[in-house]
Amino acid sequence: MKGAGMASKNSTKFRMPTSENLLPIRLDIEIDGHRLKDAFTWNVNDPDSEIAVFARRTVKDLKYPGSFVTPIVQSIQSQLAEFRSFEGQEMNTGEKVLPFKLDIRVNKTVIKDQFLWDVNNLESDPEEFARVFCKDLEIEDPEVGPAIAVAIREQLYEIAIQNVTSGRETRVSKKSRRDRGVDYPSTSKVGGIALDYMKRLGNKISILRRRKEWDFYEPIIDVLSNEEVEALDAREERNARLKRKLDDKDDGYFTRYMRI
């Protein structure tokens, strides 16, 4: 009975470790020379019928060809299916403070930052953090805040998936250690101090910057010129084309190999 109590205390059912169960979604679709790149969050509890409505509205608003509707629907459905494949599984929890990084460009704004985040605070709010971040740094572009929230949620999502695996491994490890009469180690002192400080700040903004690292990890905000944006867009497009060619080449090789 003691073992069962420990397992329930240090684990929870898989979900996004935030106050709202919002899944980060990314689209990167190219059809007949038109390319759609977008990132946003999706409420996993919304009915799937909303996906097609969203896709049609997006295509209409952006004035893209109607041929984009089906790929958008399929991409969102695929990412939701991956998330749902983990639902119901045990996710390891406990004190865990990890470094998060931002390195994104939204239109003309480039943002680089690093901070600590309590990944097991199920009441954290990436959207609120993004709003405060943009307000404090006087970022006016309304698209920056949502992009920051998505970037944070993507890192939280990856960690949540890892915690499903580590949850299984931890339960097996604890049972083995108890069988051998070995105490399981507690969270590091540094992590505990960081977590205590964040608890004093409140649940919504679950971040911390170490004082000794302020000079190294203070936010870097840069606003690019039109020429710099065009150059970056051109480079990203070249890299995307190269990646597609390599992917097509690999697919062709795989097909030929399977036929032999």
Kindly give the residue spans of alpha helices, DSSP state H, lying in the chain.
2-9, 49-62, 69-84, 126-136, 144-179, 189-201, 214-217, 226-259
pLDDT at position 257: 56
The per-residue pLDDT of the chain, averaged, comes to 80
Give the predicted TM-score (pTM) of the model.
0.74
Give the sign of the dihedral formed by CA 57, CA 151, CA 86, CA 122.
Answer: negative
- Looking at the DSSP bridge assignments, the partners of residue 129 are none
Higher pLDDT, 211 or 20: 20
Q: Residue 231: pLDDT above 50?
A: yes
State residue 183's pLDDT score. Answer: 42
Which tens digits make up the pLDDT trace of 167-190?
A: 666 555 555 555 544 443 333 333
Task: State which of 5-14, 109-118, 202-211, 228-237 shows the largest mean pLDDT.
Answer: 109-118
Give the gyration radius of the chain's Cα atoms.
22
Nearest to 12 by CA among 202, 153, 166: 166
Confidence of residue 200 (pLDDT cuts 50, 70, 90): very low
Portion of the chain with pLDDT greater than 70, in percent: 71
